[in-house]
Amino acid sequence: MNKTVLITGASSGIGLNFSHKFAQSGHDVILVARSEGKLRTLSEEIETKYAVKTYVFTADLSKPEASKELYESIKEKGIQVDILINNAGFGLFGEFEETELSKELDMIQVNITALTELCKYFGKEMVNRKEGRILNIASTAAFQPGPLMAVYYATKAYVLSLSEALANEWAPHGVRVAALCPGATETGFSDAAELQSSKLFQSGVMNVEDVVEEGYKQMMTNNKTVIVPGVKNRMLTKSIRFLPRKMVTNIVRKVQERV
């Protein structure tokens, strides 16, 4: 039986690839992003290629009322969301005293507030139905502080913590919640975050298709709660536990610095 999957940030990067992956697997998809033009093009492509239904909703999740309006619009159409992929998010590089506060507040709104609202709205319905899945896109950044991207790292720590807590709360109700924690990945993220010249992205990135494939498999088949794609990334997140916190923070600083 086809499920309906809501994907935020569906027009590019990980969200775009998840849109194709779920459609290829026979699921209908709700495509959400800011650019209606990109979403319409993607909608036509998916329906033609995979013979599934698509629904297009434009939303700027940095706006305080956007998540509620999105939820209400989907409800008005009578669409049931079976799987929620909270992918929308962005980062910002720079010394905290120099970065733009307005961009950081928008980041908190998208990465934390909108994600939390959508988990609340759709998760409550899933709990009542005793069925559903939520995948929140976190990051390997969630496992340690991040000098030069302090707010971004902090937002992803929140996403990981929330996801693990909800996974525990909602498991008895038949709702699976997971956090996907990719490391540096070949998407438009590094451009938006002004990270192109950082040592982190210069040292090698994962292919976005591989990240999505791993996330899909671990979420849909293995019911894993914390998903870290790539052997290198898994070794990194595990080794951090055994190092002094101050040392980890200093290492992250060096990796983040521009070449």
Residue 31 structure tokens: 């495509």
Query: CA-based angle 92:13:84, to the nearest 5?
Result: 95
For residue 175, what are the β-bridge partners? Answer: 132
- Residue of 149, 210, 145, 221 lying closest to 178 (CA atoms): 221
174 alpha-carbon distance from chain centroid? 22
Q: Which residue is listed with tokens 């923070």?
A: 249
User: In whole angstroms, what is the distance from residue 147 CA to residue 139 CA?
Assistant: 15
Known catalytic residues are: 152, 156
| Helix 115-129 with 66-76: angle, nearest 10 deg | 30
For residue 56, what are the β-bridge partners? Answer: 31
Helix (H) or strand (E) holding 190: helix 189-192
